[in-house]
Amino acid sequence: MTWLDFQNRFQTIRDNKVFELFVISVIIFSSLMIGIRTYELPGLAETILISLDYAVTLFFVIEIVIRMAAEDRFRDFFKKGWNIFDFVIVVVSLIPLDDSEYALVARMLRLFRVMRLISFIPELRVLVSALITAMPRMGYVALLMFIIFYIYAVIGNLLFSSINPQLWGDLGISLLTLFRVATFEDWTDVMYEAMTVYGLSWIYFISFIFFSAFVFLNMMIGIVVDVLDEEHKKMEAEKLGESVEEHQLFENRIENEVAELHRKLDLLLSQKQG
């Protein structure tokens, strides 16, 4: 048999849904083993879990080798970010689990096996990709939110530091107090305490909550929803084997044709009524 025959077999295995589900099952099983080992276990159970961990590690190595061998060219495997992500996790899993000084680090790194579920489930990949893509836009919203926090923290320090220095003593403490207010953690206690001296201080707290909890939160949600919609379109385009631009042009053409049909139908109805 030639290498091309082996490559075709590897591609068949890689694209097989049963194999994909089995890999997901192994990832879940590996995650459960990590959770079980947080409990006190008898020596025999601990030995069995260690043996199973080695077996899972060996399976992941074989699985990643199959996926690499299934590519037409070896370097094509590393052109996808999720493949690099899986490869790094598998390599990290090869760190030996023994009683050495690195044993704790190795166990912690094995916890990242759980994240391989993201690379195998398309819907999770879309969510993570949307979150990463939305980060720059969300950063600007976070910057604007920090400016509002900063202004309100300075005002709070000037107005309320004499009332309760533990909450408003300096800029840092005031920022923590405002974070407490923004997360609705007993914020009414803080407000009522300030109102004993400044009766209209409720305006300060209500306006801050309006900006932090409603305006900025909805802006964050809007950004994520918008980016998530874009990522879904990209995934649909990949399934159809098209570029994102071609997919968008196709959608626009369909929308234009539907609009034209509606226009003609309205014209016919108006002519009949006339």
Q: Concatenated DSSP letters for 203-261?
A: HHHHHHHIIIIIIHHHHHHHHHHHHHHHHHHHHHHHHHT--HHHHHHHHHHHHHHHHHH
| Cβ–Cβ under 8 Å, residues 84 and 67 | no
Instruction: Per-residue pLDDT tens, the chain, 274 aa: give them.
Output: 676 777 788 888 888 888 888 888 888 888 888 888 778 878 888 888 888 888 888 888 898 888 888 887 778 888 887 788 888 888 877 766 555 556 666 667 677 777 777 777 777 878 888 888 888 888 888 899 999 999 999 999 999 998 999 999 899 999 999 999 998 888 889 999 999 998 899 999 999 999 888 888 888 888 888 888 877 777 776 666 545 555 556 566 777 777 777 777 777 777 666 5
- Strands, E assignment, the chain: none
- In this prediction, residue 83 carries a pLDDT of 83
Give the H or E element holding residue 5: helix 3-15
Token pair for 12: 């068949």
pTM given for the model: 0.60
**Helices and strands in the chain: count of H runs, count of E runs:** 13, 0
- In this prediction, residue 257 carries a pLDDT of 73
**Neighbouring C-beta atoms of residue 267, cutoff 10 Å:** 10
- In this prediction, residue 151 carries a pLDDT of 94
- In this prediction, residue 249 carries a pLDDT of 63
- DSSP, res 136: H
Token pair for 140: 């600007």
**Between the CA of residue 247 and those of 42, 43, 111, 149, 210, what are the distances in Å?**
58, 58, 38, 42, 40
- At CA 48, angle to CA 43 and CA 53, rounded to 5? 125
Long-range contacts of 115-122 (CB under 8 A, 24+ apart): 115/85, 115/89, 116/27, 116/86, 116/89, 117/24, 117/27, 117/28, 118/82, 119/82, 119/83, 119/85, 119/86, 120/20, 120/23, 120/24, 120/27, 121/24, 122/235
